[in-house]
């Protein structure tokens, strides 16, 4: 069954790529394969996938995917314009499953293409009649969308038949002599319709709409699309460019120096248009996204853009310049430039110069930032330069520079950048961080001072804190400072993923001040400890400080020192008590335990025992656990479905679980236990940059 499904997927991909010949070959070979199954095997497979097995006296002994394969093969012949063969396969489908509406849909479509409207009409009528009979006799309910589709096609076929005038009818009609004068008088007496339907199809919306409505109609178009449609005629061109504010988002992906010049000329043209309008004061662009097609042109193209946009207002600037260093960037930015000063969101991919704090100098000119995202792909240092010596005095001097910052993401390629960029900024005691709520660090190499996390005391209003893949950065050190200090009052999401699995630690709760932990974690709803060295016993202790009414999501994937166990075991510090955890956190909505090497069917059985506490669960991720089998997964899903009063689990992720077969997955789907199942057997990596991880490749 699994091989047949994969072959169907492969053939479907070829079909979507318009390689109909290759798709046909695959479907033909797969049909031959299905014919090799015995009748008993086919009946068993049909039972497993929930397909119809018999119509009382008639047993269906063909493979459950046989009709789908015939349908796909007919579609291939239809695309290859061999409608006769397509019709033959459609007839065969109807013969095998006369109560399957999908067979009539395919045959009707082929008949319509052949111009046989009468046969198509009879086909659709027969399909609907059989669908009714199937429901009355065998309690087989056809999908509503199929019934609606067949009914609509039947009505269309009937209309086409009624519009045709048979030749035989014309030949037998009695001839009459028409008096020209009488006929002219009769036609003159017939009233003409007040409006012409045909004329309605030629209304020029752009040319005739009131100017006040035009921006509402065109606001969803990109600048490129607006430019394209403006060349329809002069009226469209004039009206579209009357509203320069429509040109908001510019995507200059993979552009040359010449393209950048053309873009600047266009922006100047918009500026001249603004100057003619009394109701507009300046050109405001929502976003500019730039990357160079030619690496050798990247530096001069960047300089061209930054120099010539200085009098424009841009809210969001995205620069992917992996061949330009922070030194060049600092050099090209003009101080007190309106363009740079008013940027609210900056996203930058570049090279870090390690010898001096060029990145700090460059950022000091962005005085109105709300969001900052920096990705350093690599670092470099000239041969004659020395490594930088950082001091708080090297930070930005204006205390209000960080006043509006709400989110900061600092990401480095760990193997190529071996320092903590912007550290003087984060360690500065003069900057104001009242608005900062989201802080992300990935691939950073912390020095001995930074690794104690004392500098986090400046960020009292954080709601999201994310540490991932950082060198000299340990969860144990963070928990140590939280023991003695209340750092967070509003923290809702904490992600801490260590760079490698160090020596395990148990989180000695007896030495801690419980009140400090409770205050730091009182608003926590999301905890991600993927890949950390915390033991199962330490995790059991840590969750005691979380508010059960607020906490809703836990990620303990790839934790080598965590083993699921029913009850705590002080003698084995690796055990994480499922009974203790789930009985307390009955509002849990997300549970991620991917790549947890010790998980097997016994571990899943522990979850089954706690299903009464999992009634709010929406997402369960057990991916990349090769020891889990389909039996335990099916039992878990069915038990959850039962105790939740037939309410299905929203999402189940079992990617990279080779012991869970397609039959089990399809059965879970057909039973309605789960709304969505992610099951990609070939998947080997859980992390996906920008989706569930900020670990830079």
**Placement of tokens 């659709």 in the chain:** 124
The predicted-structure confidence for 559-588, as pLDDT tens digits, reads as follows: 999 999 999 887 899 999 999 999 999 999
**Residue-level pLDDT at 390:** 58
The stretch 519-537 carries a mean pLDDT of: 95
Query: Does residue 192 have a pLDDT over 60?
Result: no
Round to the nearest angstrom and report the end-to-end CA distance of the chain: 37
Give me the numbers of helices (H) and strands (E) for the chain, helices first please. 28, 19
**Residue-level pLDDT at 343:** 95
Cα distances (Å, whole numbers) of residue 398 to 229, 356, 403, 601: 47, 20, 10, 59
Angstrom distance (rounded) from CA 361 to CA 374: 14
CATH topology match: 2-163 vs 589-697: no
Angstrom distance (rounded) from CA 524 to CA 546: 7
CATH 3.40.50.300 fits 2-163, yes or no: no
Tokens at 345, concatenated: 């969101």
Tokens at 460, concatenated: 């009292």
Residue 479 three-state SS: helix
**Residue-level pLDDT at 671:** 94
Angstrom distance (rounded) from CA 270 to CA 256: 21
Angstrom distance (rounded) from CA 224 to CA 248: 11
Question: Which stretches of 342-406 are DSSP H helices?
Answer: 358-363
Contact status, residue 617 vs residue 640, Cβ threshold 8 Å: yes
Chain mean pLDDT for the chain: 87
In the structure, what pLDDT confidence band is assigned to residue 195 with cuts at 50, 70 and 90?
A: very low
In the structure, what pLDDT confidence band is assigned to residue 526 with cuts at 50, 70 and 90?
A: very high
**Residue-level pLDDT at 57:** 57
Residue 262 three-state SS: helix
CA 218 to chain centre: 27
Q: Which residues are CB-contacts of 18 (< 8 A; sequence separation ≥ 6)?
A: 79
**Residue-level pLDDT at 226:** 85
**Residue-level pLDDT at 180:** 60
**Residue-level pLDDT at 580:** 94
**Residue-level pLDDT at 171:** 40
Tokens at 372, concatenated: 């900052």
CA dihedral of 239, 243, 244, 248, whole degrees rounded to 10: -110
Q: Which CATH entry fits the domain spanning 223-381: 3.80.10, 3.40.50, 3.30.9, 3.30.300?
A: 3.80.10
The predicted-structure confidence for 436-448, as pLDDT tens digits, reads as follows: 999 999 999 999 9
**Residue-level pLDDT at 4:** 85
Q: Higher model confidence: residue 273 or residue 601?
A: 601
Q: Residue 520's CB: how many other CB atoms inside 10 A?
A: 22
The lowest-confidence range among 106-120, 133-147, 256-270 is 133-147
CATH topology of domain 589-697: 3.80.10
Name the β-bridge partners of 158. Answer: none
The residues spanned by each domain of the chain are 2-163, 223-381, 589-697
**Residue-level pLDDT at 131:** 87
Q: 155 — alpha (psi -120 to 50), left (phi > 0) or beta?
A: alpha
Question: Which stretches of 375-505 are DSSP H helices?
Answer: 423-427, 475-484
Q: Which residue spans within 94-148 are E strands per DSSP? A: none
The predicted-structure confidence for 224-249, as pLDDT tens digits, reads as follows: 888 888 878 888 888 888 887 788 89
Sign of CA dihedral 364, 365, 370, 374: negative
The predicted-structure confidence for 623-635, as pLDDT tens digits, reads as follows: 999 999 999 999 9
Which helix (H) or strand (E) segment holds residue 31: the answer is: helix 20-34
Q: Which residues are CB-contacts of 376 (< 8 A; sequence separation ≥ 6)?
A: 350, 351, 352, 411, 412, 413, 417, 421
Q: Higher model confidence: residue 6 or residue 257?
A: 257
**Residue-level pLDDT at 167:** 39
The stretch 469-473 carries a mean pLDDT of: 94
Which helix (H) or strand (E) segment holds residue 682: the answer is: none
Cα distances (Å, whole numbers) of residue 154 to 106, 127, 148, 332: 13, 10, 10, 68
Angstrom distance (rounded) from CA 97 to CA 103: 8
The stretch 404-417 carries a mean pLDDT of: 96
The predicted-structure confidence for 669-697, as pLDDT tens digits, reads as follows: 999 999 999 999 999 999 999 999 999 97
The lowest-confidence range among 48-62, 159-173, 223-237, 580-594 is 159-173
Q: Higher model confidence: residue 269 or residue 461?
A: 461
Q: Higher model confidence: residue 136 or residue 593?
A: 593
In the structure, what pLDDT confidence band is assigned to residue 196 with cuts at 50, 70 and 90?
A: very low
Most trustworthy range by pLDDT among 69-73, 280-284, 336-340, 394-398: 69-73
**Residue-level pLDDT at 174:** 46
Contact status, residue 652 vs residue 677, Cβ threshold 8 Å: yes
Closest listed residue to residue 634, CA positions, set 662, 615, 655, 612: 662
**Residue-level pLDDT at 188:** 61
Query: Does residue 401 have a pLDDT over 80?
Result: yes
Question: DSSP of 190-233, one letter per residue?
Answer: SPPPSS-HHHHTT--HHHHS-TTTHHHHHTTS-HHHHHHHHTS-
In the structure, what pLDDT confidence band is assigned to residue 385 with cuts at 50, 70 and 90?
A: low
Which helix (H) or strand (E) segment holds residue 48: the answer is: helix 39-49
Query: Does residue 544 have a pLDDT over 80?
Result: yes
Q: What percent of the chain has pLDDT over 90?
A: 56
What does DSSP say about strands 58-59 and 54-55: parallel, antiparallel, or unpaired?
antiparallel
Contact status, residue 579 vs residue 608, Cβ threshold 8 Å: no
**Residue-level pLDDT at 132:** 86
**Residue-level pLDDT at 282:** 62
Q: Which residues are CB-contacts of 393 (< 8 A; sequence separation ≥ 6)?
A: 424
The predicted-structure confidence for 102-118, as pLDDT tens digits, reads as follows: 899 999 999 988 988 89
The stretch 163-188 carries a mean pLDDT of: 54
**Residue-level pLDDT at 55:** 67
Query: Does residue 616 have a pLDDT over 90?
Result: yes
Q: What percent of the chain has pLDDT over 70?
A: 89
């Amino acid at each position: 069954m699994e091989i047949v499904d994969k072959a169907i997927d492969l053939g479907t991909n070829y079909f979507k790529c318009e390689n109909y010949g290759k798709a046909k070959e695959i479907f033909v070979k797969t049909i031959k394969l299905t014919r090799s199954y015995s009748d008993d095997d086919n009946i068993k497979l049909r039972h497993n996938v929930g397909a119809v097995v018999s119509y009382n006296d008639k047993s269906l002994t063909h493979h459950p995917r046989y009709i789908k394969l015939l349908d796909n093969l007919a579609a291939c012949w239809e695309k290859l314009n061999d409608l006769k063969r397509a019709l033959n396969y459609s007839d065969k489908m109807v013969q095998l499953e006369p109560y399957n509406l999908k067979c009539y849909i395919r045959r009707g479509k082929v008949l319509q293409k052949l111009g046989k409207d009468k046969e198509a009409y009879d086909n659709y009528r027969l399909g609907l009649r059989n669908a009714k009979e199937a429901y009355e006799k065998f309690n087989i309910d056809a999908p509503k969308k199929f019934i609606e589709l067949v009914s609509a096609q039947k009505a269309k076929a009937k209309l086409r038949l009624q519009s045709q005038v048979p030749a035989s009818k014309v030949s037998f009609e009695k001839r009459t002599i028409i008096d020209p004068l009488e006929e002219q008088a009769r036609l003159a007496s017939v009233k003409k319709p007040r409006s012409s339907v045909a004329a309605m199809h030629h209304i020029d919306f752009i040319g005739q709409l009131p100017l006040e409505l035009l921006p509402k109609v065109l606001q969803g178009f990109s600048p490129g699309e607006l430019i394209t449609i403006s060349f329809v005629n002069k009226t469209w061109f004039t009206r579209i460019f009357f509203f320069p504010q429509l040109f908001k988002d510019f995507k200059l992906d993979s552009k040359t120096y010449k393209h950048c010049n053309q873009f600047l000329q266009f922006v100047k043209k918009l500026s001249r248009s603004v100057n003619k309008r009394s109701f507009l004061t300046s050109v405001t662009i929502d976003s500019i996204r730039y990357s160079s097609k030619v690496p050798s042109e990247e530096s001069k193209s960047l300089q061209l853009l930054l120099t010539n946009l200085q009098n424009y207002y841009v809210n969001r600037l995205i620069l992917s310049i992996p061949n330009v260093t922070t030194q060049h960037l600092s050099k090209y930015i003009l101080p007190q430039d309106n363009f740079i000063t008013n940027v609210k969101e900056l996203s930058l991919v570049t090279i870090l110069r390690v010898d001096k704090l060029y990145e700090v100098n460059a950022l000091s000119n962005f005085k109105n930032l709300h969001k900052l995202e920096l990705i350093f792909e690599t670092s470099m240092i000239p041969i004659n330069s020395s490594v930088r010596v950082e001091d708080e005095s090297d930070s930005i001097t204006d205390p209000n520079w960080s006043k509006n910052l709400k989110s900061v993401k600092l990401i480095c390629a760990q193997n190529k950048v071996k320092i903590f960029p912007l550290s003087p900024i984060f360690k500065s005691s003069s900057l104001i961080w009242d608005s900062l709520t989201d802080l992300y660090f990935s691939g950073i190499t912390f020095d001995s001072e930074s690794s104690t996390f004392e500098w986090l005391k400046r960020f009292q209003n954080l709601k999201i804190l994310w540490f991932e893949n950082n060198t000299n950065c340990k969860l144990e050190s963070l928990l140590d400072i939280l023991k003695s200090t209340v750092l967070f009052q509003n923290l809702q999401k904490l992600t801490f993923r260590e760079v490698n699995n160090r020596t395990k630690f148990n989180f000695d709760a007896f030495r801690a001040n419980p009140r400090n932990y409770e205050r730091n974690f009182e608003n926590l709803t999301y905890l991600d400890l993927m890949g950390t060295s915390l033991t199962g016993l330490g995790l059991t202790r840590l969750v005691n400080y979380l508010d059960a009414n607020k906490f809703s999501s836990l990620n303990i994937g790839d934790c080598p020192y965590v083993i699921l166990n029913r009850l705590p075991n002080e003698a084995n510090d690796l055990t994480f008590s499922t009974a203790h955890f789930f009985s307390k956190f009955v509002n849990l909505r997300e549970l991620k335990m991917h790549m947890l090497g010790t998980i097997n069917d016994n571990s899943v059985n522990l979850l089954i025992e706690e299903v009464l506490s999992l009634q709010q669960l929406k997402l369960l991720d057990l991916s990349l656990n090769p020891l889990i089998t389909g039996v335990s997964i099916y039992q878990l899903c069915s038990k959850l479905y039962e105790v939740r009063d037939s309410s299905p689990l929203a999402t189940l992720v079992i990617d990279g679980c080779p012991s869970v077969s397609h039959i089990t997955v399809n059965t879970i789907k057909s039973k309605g236990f789960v709304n969505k199942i992610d099951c990609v057997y070939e998947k080997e990596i859980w992390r996906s940059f920008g989706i569930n991880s900020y670990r830079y490749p």
